[in-house]
Amino acid sequence: MEVPVEEELARATVEERSEVEVLNASDEAINFLGSIEVTELHKCMFSDSLVTVSEGGRELGEFIVTVEFANRFQEPCLLLRAQSHGAIDSTPCGTSITAYLSTDLETLEQDHHEYVKDVTKESVSYPLSILRGLVTEGANLLLMRLLALRKTVPDNMTFLSLDQESHLTHTNYSELGLKQLETGCETVEVFGLERKIDSVEDMAITWHCFFLPDGHLASRVQIGSPVTMKLVLPPSQLRTDLMEEKPFFEKRPLVWEEDMQMRSKFLDRKEELKADHASYLREHPEIRALMADFLQLLLLKKPDDTFLFAREYFLPFASRRTL
């Protein structure tokens, strides 16, 4: 029996929809998002700055993340910005993310741009009903901070995510435990997290990230990549820079008359303005007559409110302007 084309398309649509609907975040992941406290988010309001280095130790670029509270869509939310740029084999590459997130890490809006030499744009859409438990790239960076501060990852932490082709897929988080990491001239204990992103058309991508006890990112690497993002500034210096007050410089009065260079500039500018004004008055002799008449009438009338008198005197001249 031959099936009409319209029916074949309808069946294909139903099959594709069913494939998407089977992708669900785990209960543990959903419960984690619902357990986030505002006090925890306050501890995440800081910036991370790492350098990207090659296997040989050569600096290739930098990676910066900032998080702050904001107001978007008439409700309080979080604004996360992340940017990386550098070059691989002399080819410019980078990523830019601007994400507005709710307090339970729901993505309200996100702009995500990646480029390797040339910038490309892509647009996809999914129904909101199937996106419960979705963690975008912006939400992921904040989620990992929260996990690092809690220093524990519940079992079966499976969220929804988007792969490199923007297909809806799963992403899993797990612990890597504690290890010693050299940062600058110091060796510190860091807490490790693994994020694995499944792919519909390609191999899964795995990230290993290590965090300092206060939640600052110390190292970030994609498994199989020849580059690593790492913290160069020692943690002790990082804390000092964050806590150190800005230096106070006493305000000194400016005595420009005693500065020969400033006095010379002042006199030059003064002569320049005098010459310019004199030139304008020569070109408009009516100004002197107008001002002479006004001053003569002002001295005769001697009004108490000179501003009101001047307004009434010059008001008739306004109607003579050419529009």
| pLDDT tens, residue by residue, 46-69 | 999 998 888 888 888 889 999 999
Asked whether residue 253 is domain-assigned, the answer is no
Residue 143: predicted pLDDT = 95
Paired strand residues for 191: 178, 211
pLDDT at 269 over 80: yes
pLDDT at 275 over 90: no
Asked whether residue 3 is domain-assigned, the answer is no
Are 151 and 268 found together in one domain? no
Are 51 and 28 found together in one domain? yes
Average pLDDT over residues 168-192: 89
Residue 113: predicted pLDDT = 82
Closest CA to 158 of 181, 137, 133, 127: 133
Are 73 and 174 found together in one domain? yes
| CA distance linking residue 208 with residue 125, whole number of Å | 29
Compute the Cα dihedral for 243, 68, 29, 38 and give only its sign.
positive
Sheet holding 227-230, edge to edge: 118-119, 107-116, 91-101, 75-88, 59-72, 47-54, 227-230, 217-222, 205-211, 186-197, 168-183, 157-162
pLDDT at 2 over 80: no
Q: Residue 219 — very low, low, confident or very high, per pLDDT cuts 50/70/90? A: very high
Asked whether residue 5 is domain-assigned, the answer is no
Higher pLDDT, 83 or 318: 83
Residue 8: predicted pLDDT = 41
Are 184 and 78 found together in one domain? yes
Asked whether residue 62 is domain-assigned, the answer is yes
Are 223 and 273 found together in one domain? no
Residue 211: predicted pLDDT = 94
* Residue pair 195/220 in contact by the 8 Å Cβ criterion: no
Closest CA to 147 of 174, 110, 178: 174
pLDDT at 309 over 90: no
Asked whether residue 109 is domain-assigned, the answer is yes
Are 68 and 149 found together in one domain? yes
Asked whether residue 274 is domain-assigned, the answer is yes
Are 212 and 285 found together in one domain? no
Residue 193: predicted pLDDT = 96
Residue 61: predicted pLDDT = 84
Are 215 and 308 found together in one domain? no
Residue 74: predicted pLDDT = 76
Residue 114: predicted pLDDT = 78
Q: Which residues contact 192 (CB under 8 A, 6 or more apart)?
A: 175, 176, 177, 178, 179, 208, 209, 210, 211
Are 263 and 167 found together in one domain? no
* Residue pair 173/191 in contact by the 8 Å Cβ criterion: no
End-of-domain residue from the set 182, 216, 243: 243
Residue numbers of the domain that contains 297: 258-316
Are 228 and 276 found together in one domain? no
Ramachandran sector of residue 157 (left: φ over 0; alpha: ψ -120 to 50; beta: rest): beta
End-of-domain residue from the set 243, 277, 304: 243
Are 265 and 306 found together in one domain? yes
Residue 161: predicted pLDDT = 93
Closest CA to 169 of 193, 135, 141: 135
Tokens describing residue 186: 């110091």
Residue 313: predicted pLDDT = 83
Q: Residue 259 — very low, low, confident or very high, per pLDDT cuts 50/70/90? A: low
Asked whether residue 322 is domain-assigned, the answer is no
Asked whether residue 7 is domain-assigned, the answer is no
Are 133 and 181 found together in one domain? yes
Average pLDDT over residues 165-182: 91
Count of domains forming the chain: 2
End-of-domain residue from the set 215, 243, 271: 243
Residue 234: predicted pLDDT = 64
Average pLDDT over residues 282-306: 86
* Residue pair 151/186 in contact by the 8 Å Cβ criterion: no
Residue 238: predicted pLDDT = 61
Q: Residue 186 — very low, low, confident or very high, per pLDDT cuts 50/70/90? A: confident
